[in-house]
């Protein structure tokens, strides 16, 4: 139950709260800076939200948020405990195997080749 609450809180934070706060900030900054310096018209909250959405689409910002949400959910559901302690309790051979397995998974689709010297490090 605690895991589900953490996942739900993370989802609400990134999907609802953060965009609302960003829209408020954009609206306030636009109306206080751009209106007085450039003479443009003041915008409403929904126009500020639209500017935030447009910025996210243009810069690919939603992808960063999705990776953060996905990483948080993955950690909540699959990795209980302390990774720092887990890493330091591994032997040198287990660490090498872990690093090599991650390399194979990450570079499976590319033409990246690891040498024996890289695996020994």
As a whole number, mean pLDDT of residues 70-87 equals 66
Q: pLDDT of 37-67, one tens digit each?
A: 998 999 999 999 999 989 888 887 766 666 6
Which residues fall within 8 angstroms of residue 100, CB to CB, at 6 or more apart? 114, 119
Residue 86 predicted with pLDDT over 60:
yes
Residue 29 predicted with pLDDT over 90:
yes
Cα-based distances in Å from 111 to 78, 119, 120: 30, 17, 20
Question: What pLDDT is attached to residue 17?
Answer: 83
Domain residue spans of the chain: 1-80, 82-121
Q: pLDDT of 1-23, one tens digit each?
A: 677 787 778 777 777 888 889 99
Count the neighbouring beta carbons within 10 Å of the beta carbon of residue 26. 19
As a whole number, mean pLDDT of residues 64-80 equals 63
């Amino acid at each position: 139950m605690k895991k589900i609450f953490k996942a739900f809180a993370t989802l609400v934070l990134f999907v609802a709260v953060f965009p609302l706060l960003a829209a408020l900030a954009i609206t306030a900054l636009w109306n206080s800076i751009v209106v007085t310096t450039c003479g443009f018209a003041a915008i409403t909250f929904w126009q500020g939200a639209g500017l935030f959405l447009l910025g996210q689409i243009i810069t690919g910002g939603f992808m960063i948020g999705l990776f953060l949400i996905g990483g948080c959910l993955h950690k909540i559901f699959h990795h209980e405990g302390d990774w720092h302690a887990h890493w330091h309790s591994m032997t040198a051979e287990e660490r090498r195997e872990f690093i090599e397995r991650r390399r194979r998974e990450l570079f499976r689709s590319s033409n990246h080749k690891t040498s024996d010297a890289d695996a020994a490090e």
